[in-house]
Structure 1
Amino acid sequence: MQFNATSRSVQGSSASRRLRRAGRVPAIVYGGDAAPLSIELDHNEIYHALRKEEFHSSILSMQFDGKATQVLLRAVQWHPYKPQVLHVDFQRIAAGQALHTKVPLHFINAEISPAVKLSSAVITHVQNEVEVTCLPGDLPQFIEVDLGNMIAGASLHLSDIKPPKGVTFVAGGDTVLANALAKPGGATEEAAEG
């Protein structure tokens, strides 16, 4: 994904307020070999980009002064109650330098698992993202987690899934990703009464 940025010459809270009133968002790009760079973004463009999952978990191409710079979204500040972006932080990416970031988890096949089909259990997602380290070229947009073999009362741990090639999980293998909890008054109690 790509977005456009322009240089921001004035800084400070009053300058940032003026930018926001003009439909712009103050932002910063840091990291790599260069000094931190103060930029501004178009509010509507960045607002709609932030609503897409892949914008949060993939390497972005920032168009600045006619050049493309590879960056990663690091932080977003939102207005407390308005749908308004207040500030955005990006980190420059160096091709040979490992990244440490969070990647979303996509859970699949929960509805066909024995826990749901046979035991009427409810599968809950304990984690929706996982921290990883990898080179920029190996960064996945998401990690797919297959729940098709879960049974009632079981938990799926991080050690139960295989990381994509070149990706290492930061958390320990005993981290719980999902649980299959039997419903109170579920199929087993109905069978006992019948």
Structure 2
Amino acid sequence: MAQSITLKANLRKSIGKSAVKKLRSKDKIPAILYGKGTSVPLEILASEFKNLFHGKRIEKVLLNLEITDAQEKKSTLAFLQQIQLHPLTDKLLHLDLHELSADEKVHAEIDLIFTGEPQGLKSGTANLDISLRRIKISCFPKDLPDSISVSIDHLQTGESLHVGDIPLPPGVESLSPKNQVVLSLVAAKGGEEEQAAGAAETAEPEVIKEKKVKAEESSQ
């Protein structure tokens, strides 16, 4: 299950450039919560937002959004859709949030965590060529994983792992093409070939020596 964070917000009554400018001067971020055919203006405390999201990837975080309107409070599930930053100072300017329902599937990009070590890597005769570190998935909010673990112990030199080979958690569907290459185990330059050549060179003098002995025996 992906990380879930409770974020507090207030309903924003004033809109327009001057209202937004005044809001930012008070350490608040203007935001919009988009739902099915609706858009609700909100304001969120900038310092609280920064503390909550420090070191986190926004597309992997589910929000328990607590919205206060005067004395009334409402809780809803949401995703951060977009963050607007100042191009020079990186100051938070605006947030777009997407309201979710428990029966609505979400789309997200999830990290692949590779575990294990193929024999070719252990022996130094092969290298791992990684083409894809994240895949696109679809699932209900409750099934959203933090990451997907992929074992690569079984890979033989020359083999590739495709998206369709990845075992997915229950309730998770891949949106990335099944035939897309995730990684390949490729022979290291001078690895297996040099070992084979070295073995042949070692064996060759023994054959020559044997022939020489036979020739000497026949001449006696």
- Report the equivalent of 2:211: none
Contact 2:110 2:145 in 1 (8 A): no
- Tell me the SS of whatever aligns to 1:117: helix
Q: Deviations over 1:139-170 (max 9, x none)?
A: 22222222333344443211011221111111
Which residue is 2:84 aligned to?
77
Contact 1:49 1:55 in 2 (8 A): no
1:27/1:155 CA distance change after superposition, 3 Å: farther
Question: What amino acid does structure 2 have at the position aligned with 1:45?
Answer: E
CA RMSD for the aligned pairs? 2.7
Of structures 1 and 2, the larger Rg is shown by 2
Higher helix share: 2
Shift of 1:29: 0.8
Match of 2:171 among 166, 169, 183: 166
Counterpart contact for 1:47–1:84, Cα < 8 Å: no
Write the letter of the residue equivalent to 1:98: K
Give the TM-score of the pair, scaled to structure 1.
Answer: 0.79
Q: Are 1:24 and 2:28 counterparts?
A: yes
Q: What is the letter of the counterpart of residue 10 of structure 1? A: S
* Match of residue 8 from structure 1: 12
Q: 2:52 aligns with which of 49, 52, 71?
A: 49
Mapped partners of 2:87, 2:127: distance in 1 = 33
Change (3 A) 1:142 1:53: farther
User: Which of the residues 83, 86, 89 maps onto 2:93?
Assistant: 86
Q: Residue in 1 aligned with 2:39?
A: 36
Deviation of 1:75 after TM superposition, in Å, equals 1.6
Could you tell me which of 98, 104, 107 is aligned with 2:110? 104
In the superposition, the TM-score normalised over structure 2's length comes to 0.71
User: Equivalent residue of 1:5, what SS?
Assistant: strand
From 115, 118, 137, the counterpart of 1:113: 118
Contact in 1 for aligned 2:139/2:171 (Cα 8 Å): yes
Q: Deviations over 1:27-46 (max 9, x none)?
A: 1111246x211112122222
Q: Which of 141, 148, 170 is residue 143 of structure 1 equivalent to? A: 148
Q: Which residue of 1 aligns with 2:207?
A: none
- Structure 2 portions without partners, runs of 5+: 199-220
- The one-letter code sitting in structure 2 at the alignment partner of 1:116 is L
Correspondence for 1:68: 75
Matches of 1:89 and 1:44 in 2, distance apart?
17
**Cα deviation, residue 179, structure 1:** 3.6
Distance apart, 1:117 and its partner CA:
1.4
Residue 127 of structure 1 pairs with residue 132 of structure 2:
yes
Shift of 1:16: 2.9
In the alignment, residue 23 of structure 1 is paired with which amino acid? Answer: D
Distance across 1 between alignment mates of 2:166 and 2:139: 17
Question: How many residues were matched structurally?
Answer: 190
SS in 2 for 1:19: helix
